[in-house]
Each structure stands twice: as structure tokens, then as C-alpha cells.
Structure 1
């Protein structure tokens, strides 16, 4: 009997040792640490709203632009001329060539001054002097041209800039000579403010107003449609512009708005003053900063809302579109993605266990985001000890022993 008991105990001990060794040597479930960026994104349909000054053709005929599409122009500058009737295409082509050279030289005068774009009063003065030279050349005012060149020389340090100013005056005089060959009645249009020049009139300029954009709700958003312009031409009409229709516009490039319709439940607690970033479906790679101006109050049962965002940074692409899909990025988190159950607590600090060689090392981390539905979390290293810092491709242990 005693021998039987000894055999049973020995067998039990062997079984225990076997399972203990098997447990110790069993493979541990791990995942490789990899970096991710999670974004809290709200998508919607949007209109871009800008302060736009529209200039109307007082007579029908041929419109000719003196400013390049999308270029910045100063205040009180001739931007467009509407000629009654049809103009010789050869003259228009030559005018276009000269204007392109004038625009290029004008930019060189400013660029060579040593001041950055959108700089201070010196750059603004150089731009004004460029316009003064053009006006003086058109009037054949030699004394005024000389005075402008002298001031440019005082503001800059290079003779090349003054040489460009000389060439600018020559080209402007040549342009005046060509214009004198056009005997048709004309309407010169001058800018009443500085901004971006465009002839792309889409009919929303007076519908979408920066002063009333915060008043939009879901119903009003659904009623947005462009204005319709005259399309009836007299039988003897010649040209491309109808009297009473818009000829061109100047866009304020310092401040613009985004009017968007989104799902109410998606915006959470979004409120006035929140800072966000915005991407545009029609502008791949473009991302701008914005602030929330308003969130429309809607009746119970309405599952959508209108959000108005304000942008104060220049975006060249944004001035070429009106309607687009957008993504509002409310927040962004970058770190290592792990299952929530992989997070451990050691001495009151969160972290993960990492397999290093044949041993396990606790690496302290901070949880910056977690989603209970997907049971995922994003963590970042939370230690000054480089040996304990979680790195890309570290093998994170998932199961507990």
C-alpha cells in the first residue's frame, strides 16, 4: 500500500513538472509595435465663401484682362477693359504677350528688393511704384517715370532692379501704343481693393456672403443655387460680354469661410472657437487650419447641421473651387496601436510587456487614445530611460502568464 502511494505521488509530481515546463516553454502571443495616426474626421458637402467684389460690364463687347487669372493685384489698378464690338485678334495676342512681360518684370522688381512676399511697407511701396510707372508711361510722363526709378533705387541696393524698371516703362509705353490702335469705345475697370483677380464668375458671389454665412441652417443650405445672368444678345451683337453681366472680380485673399452640411451625431461637442484642420476632395494634398464660427441650431428630429469654419491662411487652390466635399479633422493622435488588453500596470504606471531575447521587459507608456468598440488603443513612450522606451517593431506580449 505504501509503495502504491509512493508511485501515485511520483506520477503526480511528474505530471505537475511536465505541465509547468510546457507552460513556461509555450509560445507567447505577440504583435509587432507599429506607428499609426488616428484622425477624428467629420465629412460633409461644402461651399467656399469669400469676400468677392464683382465688376459689371456697362457695355457689351470684348473683355480684355490686364491682370493674370489668380494673380494678386493692388488697389486702384486697371484690371480689365471692355471694348465695344470685336477686336483684332492679332492686337489682343500682342497685348497679351506684353502684359505677361510686364507682370513678370513687376515681380522681379519686388523679388530683387530683398523683402519676403506679403512683407511690410517697403514691398507695398515697390508694388505701388510699379503701378505708378505703368500709369506714367501710359501718359508719356517722363519726369514721373524718372522720379519713380529714383525712389526704387533708394529702396533697393541693386542696379538690376532699376534696369528692370526701365524695361517696365518701355513695355508699358509699347502697350499704350497698341491700345491707341483700338478705336472701339471702351470701359476701363479699376480695382477698388487689393486681392486675387479672377474672371471665373459662377453666380454664387452675391448668394454666399461672408457677412451672413453664419445665419445658414439646413433648410437654407438646401436652397443654395447660383444667380442666372443675361443670355439674350441683340442680333447685331459682337463680342463675348453682355452689358449688365459681370466681367471680373477681386477676391479677398486674407479671410475666407467654409460652409458645410454634416451629420449632427458626427460632430459631438463641436462648438464655436474650436480649432480644426480641413482637407478638400478637389484639392489633393491641401490641408488648412480653420476655426469654428458657428454650428446651426436645428429642430428636433433633424439629423444634420450646418457648420461654418473660418480660414485666415492663403490657399491658392481654394480660390479656384466653390463646391467640394471636405473632411474636418477634429483631432489627431500618433503613436503605437495595441489591443487594450495588452496594456499592463506596473507600480501604478501604464505600459506594455515586450519580449527581448529570452526575457520580458516592461516598457512604460501613456495611453493617448482608446476606442472601446474596437478594443484598440494608441500609446506613446512615457519614460526618459532609452532602454525602456518602446520602439518600432518591438514584440509586444498580448497574453498574460
Structure 2
């Protein structure tokens, strides 16, 4: 009898558990069905109401022209005193003074590995000479040495962040020299930079003698920015040519193959000094795009292959149309990294730029001769007047109107109606 009761209890317990599981399953199914029903109703309502909105946020609208063109500038060419190869003593893009030593022409046989060692030793000697020159400045002044170490460490960190490994290596060496100087001062001694400098000069002398030729100086004939990149187009990209450039002239430049030589020839250009106070960018653009430009107009130039920054310039010349093209010349005196060594360049010419609240152009409406937008306030459409600063086929830049009798003013983060059926002020749209 006891066994029968135990069996009955187990059956009853199992039935109870089964009922609880079934009840829980139905509850979950009901919740899922409710969510699905809500989504279906929301989608149907959204499709029926036809309301599309956007959030009012600050933005910029730009109109730009992409152009491949040329850099026109004033530059002084320096010819090679003999045939051989060039070893620079200043870096590309450095500013130099008139009469400054900028490099040597070696007349011996060119050897890439030896040339690299000569360049490295020359750079190291220049850094040591700076160290020797500054020794008297911070002699027995540990505080100044520590400041120089801190500055060199910051510079090294910036160079590593920019992935400039060549300059980072130089920065590391300079930092090590300063640390060596500080340790010597703390121990009561000193670092004999002068002796090390003489040793480096001796190594350089031996290396130069191994070239088997002469060594001739090159000095800057005028102040400016140094560049060793001679490409054969220097005489065709003068400042005077930029003022009268035509589509045909620029097209003729496209046919010229840029030259790059490891060796130099006597009497031919070996490097140049660029006047960095002003230069032109000249390019051919479509005639319909040129209609948005006029002489004297301010524009921005963005040389995306050279730098992330943009510079301001002025349209100085617009040519007559030739076969659907117009040549534009833009003058600027702003610096762009690498621009003085480049003859050909690609640029974005930003002709228009407007900043403000950026909205789709179709969000604009006109009521009672007033331009505005409809903003959702508690699911009610409210007409809000705005000032249109700029508008094209896709976007509009607007600002709030504050001097009207309307109680509503456009604000950042407002929900603006872009599209809706039978839209009018005060209408419930949700």
C-alpha cells in the first residue's frame, strides 16, 4: 500500500512540474507575440504616416573641385660644377641663407653604400658641432641640461608618433648625448665632445678620400627653401607663366616625363633654392565648374597627397575656354609640407564652405513668405522659421531666426521632419 502511495505522489509531482513548464512556455510565447505585434503595428503606422525625421546638428557643406595641376614658383637653380654625384648638407625643405654651404659634388665613382655612410657621418658631425657650440651655454648648469633632455624626449616621442624613423633615430642620438653630458656633470667630469667631433671628421675625411675624386662645394646663391629634387620642369613653371596659363599649355606639360637622376652632369641643375613667400597652383578644370569661380575670389586648397591641412588662396587668373576646359591659377603664400619639391600636385579646390545647422534640403518649407522647417514637439509638427545660409540640391546650412514673433526656435538636437504627407503647423503626425 505504501508503494502505491509513493508512486501516486511521484506522478502528481511530475504533472505539477509539467503544468508549470507549459505555463512558462505560454507566457514566453505570449510576450514574443506581443513584441512582434508591436513592431508590426509600428512599421505599418510608420508607412502609413510617411514621416521621416532627422536630428538638427552642426555641420559643414563644401563645394569642391578635384584637379590635377602644377606648382608655379620663383626658384634659383644651382648648376653642378662637375659631373659626379651630390651629397647634401641640409635637409629637403630646410630654409637656407645666402652663401650657406648646402652640399658637395663628388667627382669619383658613385657608390650607394658609401654615399649613405658619408651622409650619416655628415649629419652626426652637424649634431656634434651643435653640442660643442652649446657646451659653453649650459656649462656647469645641470638644470639647463635637464630641460634640454626633457625637450629632446618630447620631440622624440612626437617623431615616433608620426612614424618618422629617420628623424627619430637622430633624436635618439641627440638625447643620448645630453644624458651622457648630465652623467658626466654629476660625476664631476665632463664629456669631451670636441675630441669625438675630431674623430668623426677624420672618419669622414677617410671615406671621402676613398671616392677617388674631387670634392666641390655648393653654396646657396640666394636665401630660400632648399630642394635637391630636380625634375626638368623648373624652367616651365615660373611665376610669370602662371599668370597667363592656358589649358593647352598645361596639357603640354602632361606629356613631359619627370626626371630623377642619382648622378649629376657638369653645367646642369643639381639643386634649387625656392622663394617661399608665394607660389601658384595651376590646373585645368571643366568649364561648367569654372563658372563658380571668379578672379579675386578666395578659395581653400587641400593637397591630400602632401598634407591633411588646407590653405587659403586667391584666384588670380581664369583662361578662355578650350575644348570644354578652363585653366585656373590660384596664388597663396601659405606653407604646405612638401610643396616646394613637387612640380605636379593633386588638390581639392574648395570654392564654397558654409557652417551651421546642417539639414537635408527637402526639410525646408515656405509658409507666408517665411522659410522654415517643421519640428516635432510632443508628436505635433511645429513650423520653425530659419535663415538659410547656403543650400544645394542635397543639403542646407541654416541658423535659427530669433527676431520673429514665433514661439518656436530651432535648437540643436531638435527632431526635424524631412518628409511627411499633408504637413502643416499644429498637425499631430504620430
Return the TM-score normalized by structure 1. 0.67
Q: Distance in 2 between matches of 1:168 and 1:73?
A: 26
The unaligned stretches of length 5 or more in structure 2 are 1-47, 149-176, 179-190, 425-430
**Displacement of 1:201:** 1.1
Equivalent residue in structure 2 for 1:29, among 51, 61, 64: 51
SS at match of 1:63: strand
**Displacement of 1:46:** 0.5
Max radius of gyration: which structure? Answer: 2
Q: Which has the larger helix fraction? A: 2
Q: 1:217 and 1:388, CA in 2 relative to 1: closer, same or farther beyond 3 A?
A: same
**2:303 counterpart residue number:** 280
2:397 aligned with 1:378: yes
Contact 1:229 1:245 (C-alpha < 8 Å) held by counterparts: no
Q: Distance in 2 between matches of 1:80 and 1:271?
A: 44
Q: 1:105 and 1:389, CA in 2 relative to 1: closer, same or farther beyond 3 A?
A: farther
Q: Distance in 2 between matches of 1:61 and 1:99?
A: 18
Deviations 1:228-283 (A, max 9, x none): 9899xxxxxxx933223322222233322101011122121522221101123523
2:58 aligned with 1:39: no
Q: Distance in 1 between matches of 2:120 and 2:339?
A: 27
2:88 aligned with 1:65: yes
Contact 1:296 1:307 (C-alpha < 8 Å) held by counterparts: yes
2:230 aligned with 1:211: no
Q: Aligned runs of 1:8-19 on 2, under 5 Å?
A: none
**Displacement of 1:65:** 1.2
**Displacement of 1:219:** 1.8
**2:264 counterpart residue number:** 241
SS at match of 2:98: coil
**1:361 counterpart residue number:** 382
**1:324 counterpart residue number:** 345
**Displacement of 1:361:** 3.0
Contact 2:85 2:110 (C-alpha < 8 Å) held by counterparts: yes
**Displacement of 1:101:** 3.2
Contact 1:33 1:336 (C-alpha < 8 Å) held by counterparts: no
**Displacement of 1:330:** 0.6
Q: Distance in 1 between matches of 2:56 and 2:336?
A: 34
Return the TM-score normalized by structure 2. 0.63
Q: 1:92 and 1:75, CA in 2 relative to 1: closer, same or farther beyond 3 A?
A: same
Q: Distance in 1 between matches of 2:412 and 2:260?
A: 66
Q: 1:220 and 1:172, CA in 2 relative to 1: closer, same or farther beyond 3 A?
A: farther
Q: Distance in 1 between matches of 2:203 and 2:410?
A: 73
SS at match of 2:263: coil
**2:120 counterpart residue number:** 97
Q: Distance in 1 between matches of 2:391 and 2:223?
A: 48
Q: How many residues align?
A: 324
Contact 1:48 1:322 (C-alpha < 8 Å) held by counterparts: yes
SS at match of 1:248: strand
**Which stretches of structure 1, 4 residues or longer, exceed 6 Å deviation after superposition?**
87-91, 166-172, 227-231, 384-387
Equivalent residue in structure 2 for 1:192, among 194, 197, 221: 221
CA RMSD of aligned residues (A): 4.0
